[in-house]
Amino acid sequence: MQDFDRTTVMKTRLTAFEKICLSISSLVLMFFVTCSSPLYSFNPWNDANIYMTLGRGILHGMAPYKDMYEQKGPLLFLIHAAAALISERSFLGVWFIEIGMAVLFSIFAWKTVKLLSTPGKFAILLMPAITALTYTIGMMDYGDSAEELCFPLLTVIVYLVLRDSISEPGRLPSVRSAFVIGLLTSAMFWIKYTFLGPVIGICILMIIWTVKPRAWNRLVADIGMFLAGFALLSLPILIYLAAKGALQDMFTAYFYNNIVFYSNVTTYEHPIVNIPVIGRFAAMFLNLMSTCKMFPKYPVFLILCITGVFLSGRHVRSRAVQVFFVTFAITIFIVLSGNLVLPYYAYISVYLAPFAAVSASFVVSRISKRIEEHRMPVIASALCLALTVFSIATCKNLFMLRYQRADYPQYKFAEIINETPDANILTYDVMDGGFYMASGTLPKTQYYCYLNIEKSWLVITQEQDRLIGEQAFDYIITRRDSYEWNGYELVAKEQIIYRNIAGINVINDFFLYKKIS
């Protein structure tokens, strides 16, 4: 490695103070912003509870997809199985994982800032505020989303690509970095493959970067190491599923059904989206505008990021511009141009937060030139504290602090469900919002809860209706009280006010049906 290369690598190394500052601030932040935290009595989010139910099932010998149907990737469920080893009846294990990912994000975001610019002595004091903004944009919902687990991995990938593009003679990732990128890409692929937009963008850039210096041998070596890293994680996952007899079920649910049926579910009716090709770009634009309107912090975040790109040092600005705009464009197109677009889909794009941190670092550097040095720690700390407190205070999840476990319909229904030993329950027209965890039960049927695919793939509802007709369930949880099933009676109804992803209070009704003895 040349002297310039060594200087570049040394520049991004963190001091002990920096590591401690970033780690502690991440821990404090995650104490407030995610309902998986011990500060909250329960995490009521549907997706998080589905992941935990599958994780709990895995610990008890059940096979994902085969015994418990879901549409996300197998690694997501294996991660929650690890979390369930710590606690099956709470999200404590998930919280530890979330903290770890937040620390990883903060560290590599700051390393990227040091790579792209020359931050002032006190600029790091503003980094917790940028992390707080990233985690309180609103799209994280109640915590434990697949996006939340994956965007830190993309932050690491972007850092490696930028670092090597200015420090490696061939301007391509080193073979070591290519291996790590392959490993991280594999993790995201087996969690939710629509997150691979940034990696696709980077692959396109690597080919472009290879043309001029004709570094084809280096590109081939990088591809080989990337595939090796990808295989290192993929093979154990595939072997596990094969051993469980669930390999075909996984391909059907995770790939075929997602592509063929899940993509047929539509969430908008604007006529322009029906125009071939143009409709996809129109849908992307409409959904991006809707996202910015629903989450006011998001356009602020994007402005800070774009500003940070052009504030990057001259030696890396060209690469920063290319990586930012190419990966962002492909990411937004993939996640926001489909038929089914949920409000939190754009959250994966916050992997670009280091660029926003460059903007914050620039502000601190400019302030420090006009303020006496001994006053800067106080001023920077006060600014960081104010911005962090504002971000946390505007996090919708604080609303949930008003509830104890006994207030949730999940736990009220659990008292009734637990009167029946080894009860078999079904969440019929509602996702698993924690009813299995609260009652300590596990699914006894493959299609154990409502998912977003039922309207285009009727298999789930048909099978559930068949089993209800056979009175296979002891209890059925629904959102409506108008069902008239033979052999079942309505025994309880509960209501609770949640704050939805847009921060609006909504009333949720739940109904419990019991099989008549």
Element (H, E) at 280: helix 278-294
Angle between helix 92-116 and helix 16-33 axes, rounded to 10 deg? 140
Kindly give the confidence (pLDDT) of every residue in the chain, 517 residues in length, as a single tens digit, with 9 standing for 90 and above: 333 455 666 778 888 999 999 999 999 999 999 999 999 999 999 999 999 999 999 999 999 999 999 999 999 999 999 999 999 999 999 999 999 999 999 999 999 999 998 887 788 888 999 999 999 998 988 999 999 999 999 999 999 999 988 876 567 888 899 999 999 999 999 999 999 999 999 999 988 888 766 777 888 888 999 999 999 999 999 999 999 999 999 999 999 998 887 766 555 566 666 666 677 888 888 889 989 999 999 999 999 999 999 998 888 888 999 999 999 999 999 998 877 778 889 999 999 999 999 999 888 888 877 777 777 788 888 888 999 999 999 999 999 999 999 999 999 999 999 999 999 999 999 999 999 999 999 999 999 999 888 888 899 999 999 999 999 999 999 998 889 999 999 999 999 999 988 888 999 999 999 999 7
Instruction: Name which of 256, 238, 255 is nearest 247 in CA terms.
Output: 238
* The token pair that represents 126 in the structure block: 């503003």
What is the pLDDT, as a whole number, of residue 3? 38
Q: Where are the domains of the chain?
A: 16-146+241-400, 403-515
C-beta of residue 209 within 8 angstroms of C-beta of residue 197: no
What is the pLDDT, as a whole number, of residue 371? 77
Kindly report the CA angle at 142 between 141 and 146, in degrees rounded to 5?
70
Instruction: Name which of 196, 342, 197, 331 is nearest 265 in CA terms.
Output: 342
What is the pLDDT, as a whole number, of residue 157? 97
What is the pLDDT, as a whole number, of residue 168? 66
Integer Cα distance of 215 and 421 in angstroms: 67
pTM exceeding 0.85: yes
Alpha helices in 337-419 (DSSP H): 353-368, 376-393, 409-417
Element (H, E) at 147: helix 146-167
Element (H, E) at 38: none
Total residues found in the chain within this entry = 517
What is the pLDDT, as a whole number, of residue 148? 95
Q: Centre a 10 Å sphere on the Cβ of residue 399 and count the other Cβ atoms it contains.
A: 13
C-beta of residue 245 within 8 angstroms of C-beta of residue 66: yes
